[in-house]
Chain A
Amino acid sequence: MMRTVGKKKQKKKYSLLKETWRRYKKSHTAMIGLVILAVFIFLSLIAGIIMPYENAIAQNRDARLQGPSSEHIFGTDAYGRDLFARILHGSRISLYIGLVTSFFTLLIGGILGASAGYYGGWIDNVIMRIVDLFMCIPFMLLALAIVAALGASMRNLLIAITIASIPGTVRYIRSTVLVITEQDFIEAARSYGANDFRIITRYILPNSMGPIIVSATMNISGMILSAAGLSFIGMGIQPPNPEWGSMLATAREYMRIAPYMLYFPGVAILLAALSFNLIGDGLRDALDPKLKD
């Protein structure tokens, strides 16, 4: 649905949002993704209420390494901490990481990518050369180096993942914006004197929103996985904070005697990443003009 230049006679009330939602609802997997995410969001919101944060980090010598029971739904870890509480609060951390990194990546990557795609010329050249350089370094390695240089903490983890994600986002947004910019109606708008700001805000942005939102959603799952991976090797969120990746690192040491410690954080990460992947997939199918009935 391209918003073209000029005014349109209002025939029927048409809402892109409603239409997208209607098409989105058709896919079972997309709805499952939405449900899973809703569950995670709900759990994050009530985590503080039903399971105070102290439960997640309070050590209890007597209750060490207990399997799942009625008292501790997921069991306890090597320090006697309740695993269910840790998983719950871990979901807040993971969602926070996913959303914050995604936001800043989109912001910075979006500005850079759109400038490169829209203005072209030397701006495009300079930006893309730098992006090419960064993309020669594997994502994990780059993020790891940044965390190593700055020190392992939540803030630096966010910075590292954002910086490592920006080059790919710039490339993608640039190509999306480029395709739109080369369309005739943009040239038409320019020819009757529309300035750059107007063109970007009225025509470029609305038309590029679709693919950008889809790719941003699917990137969130990658960011959650990367954050878990970095915390797993100790270069991310530090214990006793209940991040799922670092929980898996501890679980590894006790694999023989307490294998249940391995299941829950891993499944949690899997479900979180899966939900964003399914939602992104569903959004892509819902927004794809070629799949219209």
Chain B
Amino acid sequence: MYKFVIKRILITIPVLIGVAFIIFTILAMTPGDPGRLILGPLAEESAVAQLNHELGYDRPFIVRFANFIGDIVLKLDFGTSYRSGEQVIRELGARLPYTITLALLSMLLGSIIGISLGVFSAIEQYSVFDQISRFLAMIFASIPNFWFGMMLIYIFALVFGLLPSYGVESWQSYILPVVSLSIGPMASLLRLSRTTMLETIRQDYVRTARAKGATKISVVVKHALKNALLPVITIMGMNFGRLLGGALITETVFSMPGVGMYVVSAIRNKDIPAVMGSTFILAALFSLIMLGVDLLYAYIDPRVKAKYMK
């Protein structure tokens, strides 16, 4: 079992390097060079060239990439923002908590509501409840969440003045963003848990338990739920990636000072180090979540355990 865990953890390292390479390559295609971007369009050619040389821009691609990775691994240095001159790592550090809070809360809300509705729908298949929740799931899967967020702002902030429409001053500021971000995972988890629950219910062992006289509820909770939710965990992990992507836009809509808004404005300003750093951090965060999900899944699923126990 430990072999599996160690192997899985070690694989994360080349994965992160590979991800960094992809991002680095994409951003290397951005027109413009750092010297010009930092000093502005009116600066002297010689000054730009000198700054480029100092920053190592004229060195070959591989060398630049190696330096980039080296800086991150050895010094945790993501470079300096072109726009603000601050250390990217410091700016990210200040913003990461907001994004993580937003993502985690949305995941929590989406999962709890989505999975419970899905499970109940499966148990009461074809009922009115089932049809309504399937309909809702369809709608929520099709709503652009930035539009939903803006409608929430309009109703709750502008018309009724109940909740803040921007910023992160109080815990109430998180309500609207979290609700608007959670509908994506909610819809997908509702449909998924409904499907897996339906499949599980049809299994023979459930029928046996019912035949033995167990009530519907106890069958669900004791026998079916655990098996039905196993694939759901993996999908929850993958949904987290979509959530991080959605957070980019939600943070922009609600003006939250998180990594999402940072990366969007960094891209607009062609602030390459900031974009590199943010993208890398978000991808690394997602990889870690997937790592956790894989380990959790391996721990819970008795079939995986059996494979590795001798």
Contacts and interface: CB of A to CB of B under 8 A. Distances in A.
Interface in A143-159: 144-146, 148-151
Most chain A beta-carbon neighbours within 10 Å: one of B26, B252, B287: B26
B299 interface: no
Interface stretch (B60-68, B116-124, B239-247): B239-247
A229 B260 CA distance: 13
Contacts of A233: 248-249, 252, 264
B78 interface: no
Given A29-B138, A146-B26, A138 B245 contact: yes
A7 interface: no
Contact of B142 (A139, A148, A277): A277
B215 to A, nearest CB: 28
Interface size class of chain B, counting residues whose CB lies under 8 Å from the partner chain: 35 or more
Contacts of A274: 138-139, 142
B146 A277 contact: no
Contacts of A255: 150, 153-154, 158
Q: Is the interface of B mostly helix, strand, loop or mixed?
A: helix
Given A133-B19, A139-B242, A235 B153 contact: no
Nearest to B11: A132
Contacts of A139: 241-242, 245
B234 interface: no
A148 B146 contact: no
B147 A269 contact: yes
Q: Is the interface of A mostly helix, strand, loop or mixed?
A: helix
A82 interface: no
Given A137-B23, A255-B150, A270-B144, A144 B29 contact: no
Contact of A262 (B18, B151, B290): B151
A30 to B, nearest CB: 11
B192 to A, nearest CB: 13
B268 interface: yes
Contacts of A252: 150, 253
Interface in A109-162: 129, 132-142, 144-146, 148-151
Interface string A243-270: 0010010011001100100100110011
Interface of B: 15-16, 18-19, 22-23, 26-31, 135, 138-139, 141-144, 146-148, 150-151, 153-154, 158, 241-242, 244-246, 248-249, 252-253, 263-264, 267-268, 270, 275, 279, 282-283, 286-287, 290
